[in-house]
Amino acid sequence: MRKTFTKVYPVMPASIQASAYADTEILFDWHKVEGFKGNSIDNLKVIVRGTNGADQTMVAIDLLFATDEIVTPSDENNLQLVPKSLGTTGAAVQAPLWSNNLVGIVPVAANDFNDGDLVYLNIANVDLSGKEIPANGDLYVAAIAKGALDFRTTVQVNEDDFAAGTQTVVTLDTAGAKVRFAPGDVIHAVDDAVLGTIKSVDSDTQITLTSANVDAITNNDVLYNVSPIQLILGGSY
């Protein structure tokens, strides 16, 4: 039997992260899992970034899994349909049109996460032995908060306004980029304008992007990492 691991980077809009999440609210809607190999999800890890440079006071998170295969036993003409939206992120689930896509739920308890030793984030390991999630067809994942989670930040651009495609090096204010961002983070402004992917965090007040900024950016724009929750899914085949 061969083991496989896939890292997943669901997108949580910066404009929604600007407010804290509460119990029952959607953290991220259905996100397609690219590259997963295996007949089932056997274990997973959940990495949760902190609040403005410090680790979270962790709460539980429910992870939902769905596929694009809907079995229709009455006529054997199975459907291939992407799961419909749970609703608006940052709000409660609003419609059940995804019900027949659903293949499992993984409750990640607050005490599954490590304590504050990692300072800037928390991580949980969940063994699904005996509770494996089937992974036939294209696989999707979504998440719901079971309490207050807060990804707000105070990092701001400290530049004259600049147009799209003009800068790879961006100066920030003194909030401390080194404890809030990391290479590989995809950064958006609070209005969801796309800055880009961080190549390096050069200092507390400077980051370098892998390529020039995608959208126009304004002085004092507050910046967010749009994947503050990351998953590592383990499978076997």
Query: Per residue of the chain (237 residues), what is the pLDDT tens digit?
Result: 678 899 999 999 999 999 999 999 999 999 999 999 888 999 999 999 999 999 999 999 999 999 998 878 777 777 888 999 999 999 999 989 999 999 999 999 999 999 889 999 999 999 999 999 999 889 999 999 999 999 999 999 999 999 999 999 999 998 899 999 999 999 999 999 999 999 999 999 999 999 999 999 999 999 999 999 999 999 987
118 with 207, same domain: the answer is no
Instruction: For tokens 């419909």, name the residue.
Output: 84
**Percentages (nearest 5) of helix, strand, coil residues in the chain:** 5, 45, 50
pTM for this predicted structure: 0.94
22 with 120, same domain: the answer is yes
190 with 217, same domain: the answer is yes
99 with 117, same domain: the answer is yes
DSSP 17: H
58 with 13, same domain: the answer is yes
Domain range for 42: 3-151+227-236
Cα distance between residue 20 and residue 26, in whole Å? 12
Pick from 225, 179, 211, 227: nearest CA to 7: 227
DSSP 132: P
147 with 189, same domain: the answer is no
Q: Is residue 159 part of a domain?
A: no
